[in-house]
Amino acid sequence: MFMSVILEEAGSHRNNRLDSENNISIKVEKLTKKFGDFTAVDSISFSVKKGETFAFLGPNGAGKTTTIKMLTTLLKPTSGVMLVNGYDPVQNQDAVRRSFGIVFQDESLDEELTAYENMEFHGVLYKVPKELLPKKIEELLKFVELWDRKNDFVKHFSGGMKRRLEIARGLLHHPEVLFLDEPTLGLDPQTRNHIWGYLRELNRTEGITVFFTTHYMEEAERVADCIAIIDRGTIVAEGSPGELMKQTNTNSLEDAFLSLTGRRIREEEIGSIEQMRNIRKLWRR
């Protein structure tokens, strides 16, 4: 399979790791992030085993995206310790960056480029060896069933096609962990099913650790080995879907989630990003 191609090369930067526990992929201890007076993430601790599919759930504004940003070197924590694949995202940014792939909550493709060019751009940035790059791009685009659209501009793609392309792109440099922040948001059941199909296959055949967030509880119930529920910046429960249901005496993860986080709707203020998105919509039409 495509992953075996650069397995050897990936091994070269796995020396001098801080973590000796070989079966731990992500470890977080007392992680805190404050924005001024507001504590977005409040001293959370959890760990994710290698090869696990880990769901990070919580209502809007609970601190999920902030946590992912800290794990992926985009934000510096206020305090606490993190290890991603044995490296510290604060001290050893580049080693961490090479070791994970990410699908952001917001779309992060260049719409003026083709699917192939987006892949190529990523490959060059991640220094995938030149002679391997075309082959790997082909394999991954075939894997997400976009090979026949490789020369089309991304601006003509549907939401589901963009997501699939982002997943292919996130896998190009052979990461050990794939972070997905609401990967199935706004997609139809067929596409969602497809996407989880790809991720399961990767997880099974390549042993990639999958760390994801979602608001679709039935998805988490179906695919996650382990779930952590975060609310108002703290982790309120952790365990397998079955354990969480047992703990809360409920029959579905959705009910377990509601019983743990309450039924009150969380209002989020519309931020400047949302406002800009609206402006862009006007510009594009």
Partner 1 sequence: MGTIYILWLRQLKRYMRSHSRIIGSLGQPLLFLLALGYGFGPIFQKAGQGNYLEFLAPGVIAMTILFTSIFSGIEIIWDRQFGFLKETLVAPASRLDIMIGRTLGGATVATIQGIIVLLISIVAGFRPTNYVLLPVAILIMALIALLFTALGTAIASLLEDMQGFQMIMNFLVMPLFFLSGALFPLQGLPEAIILFSSLNPLSYGVDGLRGALIGQIYFGFGIDFLVLAGVSALFLAVGSYLFSKIQV
Interacting residues with partner 1 (CB under 8 A): 69, 72-76, 93-95, 97-98, 102, 104, 106-110, 112-113, 117, 120-122, 124-127, 169, 272-273, 275-277, 279-280
Cβ distance to partner 1 smaller for residue 1 or 125: 125
Query: Coil, strand, or helix at residue 16?
Result: coil
Q: How far is the CB of 113 from partner 1 (least distance, A)?
A: 7
Q: Which two tokens stand for residue 139?
A: 């394999």
Q: How far is the CB of 45 from partner 1 (least distance, A)?
A: 23
How many helices and strands (H and E) does the chain possess?
Answer: 11, 9
Burial class (CB in 10 A: 0-12, 13-18, 19+), 48: buried
Q: How far is the CB of 153 from partner 1 (least distance, A)?
A: 8
The CA distance from 214 to 92, in Å, is: 28
Q: How far is the CB of 164 from partner 1 (least distance, A)?
A: 16
Q: How far is the CB of 74 from partner 1 (least distance, A)?
A: 6
Cβ distance to partner 1 smaller for residue 76 or 246: 76
Cβ distance to partner 1 smaller for residue 13 or 222: 13
The CA distance from 54 to 224, in Å, is: 6
Residue 95 gets the label, from left (phi > 0), alpha (psi -120 to 50) or beta, of: alpha
Cβ distance to partner 1 smaller for residue 62 or 154: 154
The CA distance from 133 to 119, in Å, is: 9
Cβ distance to partner 1 smaller for residue 136 or 169: 169
Cβ distance to partner 1 smaller for residue 172 or 220: 172
Q: How far is the CB of 204 from partner 1 (least distance, A)?
A: 26
- Cβ(105)–Cβ(120) below 8 Å: no
The CA distance from 12 to 212, in Å, is: 27
